[in-house]
Amino acid sequence: MARRETSVAGPGSRALIVDVIRSTISISRVELAERTGLTQPSISNIVRDLIADRVIYETGSADSARGKPRKLLAITPANRFGIGFHLGPDTLNCVAIDLTGGVVGREVVPFDGVDLAARLAERFGDFVDDLDLPRDRIEGLAIVAATARPGAEADAPHWAAVRAALADRLRIPVIVENDAAAAGLGEFWSRRVPREQAFGSVYLSTGIGAGLVFGGALFRGASFDAGELGHLSIAYDGRPCPCGNKGCVERYASMEATVDAAREAGLTVDQKTISSAYDAVAHAAVGGDPRAYAVVDQAAGYLSLAVTSMVNLLDLGRVVLTGPGVAVAGSIYARRLRAHLARTAHARHRHEISVELSAQPRDAAGIGAAALVVQASIAPGHTVPAT
């Protein structure tokens, strides 16, 4: 009897198969057919091509009810690499990952953004050479940075020109993306989250953003600006925000807002940068200082309000907290959010909403940048470069 395929064989089917293998670690061809709805001939053709391209490999066998063991397929880890650069206010975080999302190298260097394309190209060459990565196995470079505030776009780099100059200079694909969105994809890819799961991450830094992944693809919105969680209002007549709104959660729960609250609470916070000042408050909070704990716990409460609204709106099943803001006191934020979701999430009686902490919160955006490259290379169709 003829069998209808739920997906058309082609690039979309290839991406689907890669994504299923990625999320299951290892799987047989028969199970692939069951999971994807593709016919066995389509599975066989695509798998053969993926093995020939050294994207996947046969990694052993599993018992079968019909006697003959089934050969298992897995992603080939170190065959190709993605490079991600996270551009911060005064540093550049460089990350290289393999096809499974495993980090093979990282480096943080001072960076002022002057002559941006030339400096990034130079750093790319030094970073790759230091790791001794073969140039012909590097699938591309992704650069991620915070989104410019409304009205301040003119102060941001002209990313289309930077990307074009880098692609011409390096002769590899170059992607530009928002750092919070990229961090979400990185968590999705490296955690082997199934494509069927509605997945979100919250990136806590000097601002607050979200990365949303549906059907294995990063959701970007009409102008690649989706995920501006920091500008979700939690108080309609609250604190004014530079975006033009009032009560944005970023004005209550970002790293900068938490540092301001700590100073108002009488804590001595004299570090020169927001990041170092915030880390000092976070260390004091987890170290038992009651005033510091109260400040961070309050920020976590504010953030929980916004994240719960995001969970309710999108019916998310899994949320990861990431970014430098949860590197020290992440347990406080996770505990607050879990409790708030357990009390107020609309779908709490229908399905579990898991809250997890990133294993590498400070590197999450750089890892996510590299994951954008890997996904675009071996699972094409998910990644659309911003312009």
For residue range 22-57, what is the model confidence (pLDDT) as tens digits?
A: 999 899 999 999 999 999 999 999 999 999 999 999
Architecture of the CATH domain 196-361: 2-Layer Sandwich (3.30)
Render the burial of 287-312: b for 16+ CB within 10 Å, e for the rest. eebeebbebbebbbbbbbbbbbbbbb
Q: Going along 168-269, which residue ranges are E strands?
A: 174-178, 199-204, 208-214, 217-218
| pTM for this predicted structure | 0.91
Work out the angle at residue 113's Cα, subtended by the Cα atoms of residues 204 and 96, and round it to the nearest 5 degrees: 60
Across the strands, what pairs with 58?
73
Using pLDDT thresholds of 50, 70 and 90, give the confidence band for residue 383: low
Six-digit token string for 370: 């590299």
Across the strands, what pairs with 108?
93
Residue 8, pLDDT score: 42
CATH 3.30.420.40 intervals, the chain: 79-186+366-378, 196-361
Six-digit token string for 219: 């959701």
The length of the chain is: 387
Residue 2, pLDDT score: 39
CB atoms within 10 A of CB 269: 18
Using pLDDT thresholds of 50, 70 and 90, give the confidence band for residue 1: very low
Residue 6, pLDDT score: 42
Residue 62, pLDDT score: 72
At a CB cut-off of 8 Å and minimum separation 6, what does 325 contact? 204, 205, 254, 255, 258, 278, 333, 361
Collapsed DSSP state (helix, strand, coil) of residue 323:
coil
Alpha carbon separation from 196 to 19, 58, 70, 205 (Å, rounded): 10, 24, 25, 28
pLDDT in tens, 309-354: 999 999 999 999 999 999 999 999 999 999 999 999 999 999 999 9
Which of these ranges, 211-225, 269-283, 292-306, has the smallest mean pLDDT? 211-225
Residue 152, pLDDT score: 59
Six-digit token string for 152: 């301040």
CATH 1.10.10.10 intervals, the chain: 11-75
Per-residue pLDDT at 222 exceeds 50: yes
Instruction: Please tell us whether the domain made up of 79-186+366-378 is placed in CATH 1.10.3720.10.
Output: no
Residue 9, pLDDT score: 44
What CATH topology corresponds to 11-75?
Arc Repressor Mutant, subunit A (1.10.10)
Residue 150, pLDDT score: 64
Render the burial of 165-202: b for 16+ CB within 10 Å, e for the rest. bbbebbeebbbbbbbbbbbbbbbbbbbebebebbbbbb
Question: Which residue, 144, 141, 145, is CA-closest to 169?
Answer: 141
Using pLDDT thresholds of 50, 70 and 90, give the confidence band for residue 60: confident
DSSP per position, 15-81: HHHHHHHHHHSSEEHHHHHHHH---HHHHHHHHHHHHHTTSEEEEEEE--TTSSPEEEEEE-GGG-E
Per-residue pLDDT at 303 exceeds 80: yes
Per-residue pLDDT at 10 exceeds 90: no
Per cent of the chain over pLDDT 90 is 79
